Every structure is written in structure tokens, then in C-alpha cells.
Amino acid sequence: MLFERIESEGLAHYSYLIGSDKEAAVIDPRRDVQVYLDIANRHGYRIRYILETHRNEDYLVGSAELAARSGAQVWHADRQWDYQYGKATRDNQEFPLGRLMLSAMETPGHTPGSFSYVLREKESPLMVFTGDCLFAGEVGRVDLLGTDQTQALAADLFDSIFNRLLPLGDGTIVLPAHGAGSVCGSAISDRLYTTIGLERRLNPRLQYSDKAEFVKNVARDLEKPPYFAQMEVANLAGTALLPRIPDPTPLSPHDFNISMPGSVILDTRQQSFGAAHVPGSISIWLGGVSSFAGWFLPYDTPVLLVNETDDVMPVVRQLVRMGYDNIAGYLSGGILAWHKAGFDTESVNMVSVPQLCRCLDSGEEAWILDVRSEEELRESDSIPGAQNIHITQILQHTGEIPKDRRVFVFCGSGLRSMIAASLLQQRGWKNLSVVLGGFSAWASVTRPLTSKKKA
């Protein structure tokens, strides 16, 4: 038996290579498919099937690419949509893999035609690949087709989970398309492996065995990053083949400076962005690119990259998986080269929570912006006096943020605050302070301070 889970970092996307007796299937391949071919070749396995659990919306699927390179057949879920390549999977369709059998199980809900795939040894279900239907500790979202369909899809999801997946039995291993950190389910648990039994017991959504209650709980409208629309179209059409991850062009500070007009500058450093950055650049720390680039980077503008060093391949990989192919170059020598060339910079003030407390205690009149999500706010204390605008909605609500007072920006840790600060700075805000450590720091020190303030 061959089994490998391939994680696309940042996206928290899981794809799988599964096989037996030299025959393999890949489930939900990402766009840069070399990894699947390498594993298969290392073990002498031939990839026979490329199986999609649904039309993906959060990344470009590599099915067409992998088919072209491996000779495998592509099988799509969501046959209600019009794919320009591959074939439509049917419920209960079987895909033999050596002495094991993979079979399709229609599990609508996340999308109207989502599929799961069950791997059986003889008649026993060993594993089920659940796509975006069932995660560790969470279920798939059902709001992607619009408010009018949310209820119906939630009801479908209930049936899929309770009538099809759970009956596979507690012992079946559940292998979803996403892990903790995905934009596809904010409450996904960090259990790295799970089972039907564990989900039945631990997944909060599965505690509603009454269908109406389940629907009520699950049929929420969530945010949909604008880039999803782009992905949906591309995944139907079959993304342009990507022979390899593109090579970004190193640009001297001078060439970089010339390329800036008409480009968007993405800087993936953390606190050193605040220390000094190329004027006009957007901050998204490396680990956050997959989650946030889709909100703030346009597709029709070349992207310029800035990092501490010349190593920009990790960010390029994340961007390319989301279809950002127009990467115009990167700052050769990293930010130090920019400084040495004597170009001007901008900075964002940063404060630690103890410093913030001293400011507040001293009576400084400040405006506190908390860019965490509603969900996070629900689950934690809030910061007294803070205004909440979720980071993803910040550009729609700039009118609410004062320019004439010092604005302290909070998030969970200080990373998303820097995104917000960079976006506001671009738009003319000058008196911004990012709170280092964010709410996490606040929670660590607040009690004594609160009591002090009370006193």
C-alpha cells in the first residue's frame, strides 16, 4: 500500500496519493504536480486516476497538468458544471487499485455535486477522502453558491454526513482536503489524523443529530475571498499547463524602483516590515500569503516581491497555486540592498503590550482597531474600547477609521495588524501603531493592568 498526504503550506490544503500494487490515484492535486510524479516514480507506481472531490474554489487544481504528464484520467465531481476536460464521476463508480478498491460516494453540501472517495480492503472501508465535506472538527461551508442555496446545501450536507459518511463506521480514517489554518473552515481542528468515530464524538457540528438544528447551525454566510471567483472559472476550464514553478527575476534596487509604477509590491517579512519598507508596499507575512493575498492582490497587476533575502521561492509557490502568475520580479539582495542604494523608506510604529498599557495609562487618547474576525471575538475576551473591522473588510470601512488620532491596530498576534497598517498607510494614514503580540499578548498581561486601571 502506498499512502502519502501532501500538504500545501499556507493553503493548509491536503492532497493524497494512494495506491496498491503499483497502481495509484491522486485526489485533488495542486497545480505544481511534480511532487506526485516524484513519489509515484520513486515507488514505481503508475498514476491511473485523478479524482476531484469538488470544483475547488481556493486554489488552482492540477488535474489537467497531472493528466498531461502521467497519462491518468481526470474524474470531476460537480458534474452540473461544464468542464472543458476530463470526465464526470458517477456515484458508486469504482476505481480499482491493485488489491484495494476506491469507490466514489456522492456527498453534496459544500457544493451540489461534491464527492467523497472510499478506500476499501475487501468490503471494509479503510479510509474516506472527504474533500470539503467533513474536516477534523468542522464541516464544509455551504454558502459559496449564494444565500438562496445555503439552506438547501446545508440540508444536503446533513444527509451526506449522517447518512453516507457516518455509516462507514467509527473505525474509518477520515482524510479531508484541508487542515487547520485553511480559509475553507476557520474552526478546523489541528488533529493531524482523525476518524469517523473521533468526528462523531468531537466535531461540534456533528452534535446536532437533528437535521433542522444542524442546518440552523451550519447555514451561515461566511466571507468569500474575491479570488474564489477566478479559481472557479479556471478550474472548470482547465488551468493553463504549468511546466514548473516560474523563475522570478532578480531586480536591482534601481530596476525595482523603475518597475514600481503599475505594479503591486508584496513584502513578506514580519516585524522588519514595520521597521522600514519600500513606500507603497503591502505587508503579508510569508505564512499568511495563501490566506490573504486573495483579498488584496489584484490579478491584473504585476506583482513585485520584497523579502529579507533573495529567497522568494516559498512566496512564489503560494502565489502560483492561487493563479498569480504575473510576478514581475523581486528585490535582489533583499531589503538591505534597497537601504544601501539610499532609496527612501516608510515605517510603521510597533508597540509591545506593556508599552501600549503605559500609553493608555498615561491617558493618551487612542483609537484601537481590532482586525480579528467575528468568530475570534466570540471565542475570546475583547479589548475594552476597541473597534472591530475584520481584516478582510478593512478597505470597505476605511471611512470609520480616524486619521487624526493615533490608531493602535490589534489582531491575534501582530501579523494581520501589519497587513491592515500597510493598507491604511498606502491610503494616507500616518499615525498607526501595530501592537506586537496582539490579543495573545494582551491576554497574558491584562489582568494586573486592568486591576491597576480599576484602582
Return the residues of window 238-257 that contact a copy of itself according to CB under 8 A. 243-244, 247-252
Touching a copy of itself, residues 301-320 (CB under 8 A):
308, 310-313
Using the rule CB under 8 A, is 126 a contact of a copy of itself?
Answer: yes
| DSSP codes of every residue in 381-439 | ---TT-EE--GGGGGG-GGGS-SSSEEEEE-SSSHHHHHHHHHHHHTT---EEEEETHH
- Grid coordinates of 316: 512564489
Angle at 154 (CA atoms; ends 380, 82), nearest 5 degrees: 120
In terms of Cα–Cα distance, which of 374, 419, 387 is closest to 223?
374
User: Does residue 396 belong to the site contacting a copy of itself (CB under 8 A)?
Assistant: no
Which helix or strand (DSSP H or E) is residue 366 part of?
Answer: strand 366-370
Does position 34 interact with a copy of itself (CB under 8 A)? The reply is yes
Interaction residues for a copy of itself, span 266-285 (CB under 8 A): 269-272, 274-276
Single residue of 146, 163, 192, 402 touching a copy of itself by CB under 8 A: 192
Q: Is residue 182 within 8 Å of 151, Cβ to Cβ? A: no
Is residue 85 within 8 Å of residue 238, measured between CB atoms? yes
Cβ(157)–Cβ(148) under 8 Å?
Answer: no
Nearer to a copy of itself, 264 or 411 (CB): 411
Count residues near a copy of itself (CB under 8 A).
Answer: 89
C-beta of 388: minimal distance to a copy of itself in Å?
20
Per-residue DSSP letter, 205: G
- Residue 42 CB, shortest distance to a copy of itself, in Å, is 6
Q: Which is nearer to a copy of itself, 202 or 366 (CB)?
A: 202
Bridge partner residues of 349 (DSSP): 433
How many Cβ atoms sit within 10 Å of the Cβ of residue 386? 18
Question: Residue 88 Cβ, how far from a copy of itself at the closest point, in Å?
Answer: 26
Q: Which stretch binds a copy of itself (CB under 8 A): 154-162, 289-297, 399-407, 434-442?
A: 434-442
The grid cell for 218 is: 451550519
172 touches a copy of itself by CB under 8 A: yes
Residues 65-84 that bind a copy of itself (CB under 8 A): 69-71
Please give the C-alpha separations between residue 19 and each of 39, 50, 100, 412, 455, in angstroms, as whole numbers: 11, 12, 8, 41, 66
Subset of 324-383 contacting a copy of itself (CB under 8 A): 332-345, 347, 350, 352-355
| 154/368 with CB nearer a copy of itself | 368
Q: How near is the Cβ of 425 to a copy of itself at its closest, in Å?
A: 15
| 401 lines the binding site for a copy of itself (CB under 8 A) | no
d(CA 418, CA 424): 10
For a copy of itself, the closer of residues 34 and 398 by Cβ is 34
Contact pattern for a copy of itself over residues 198 through 237, marking x by CB under 8 A: xxxxx-----------------------------------
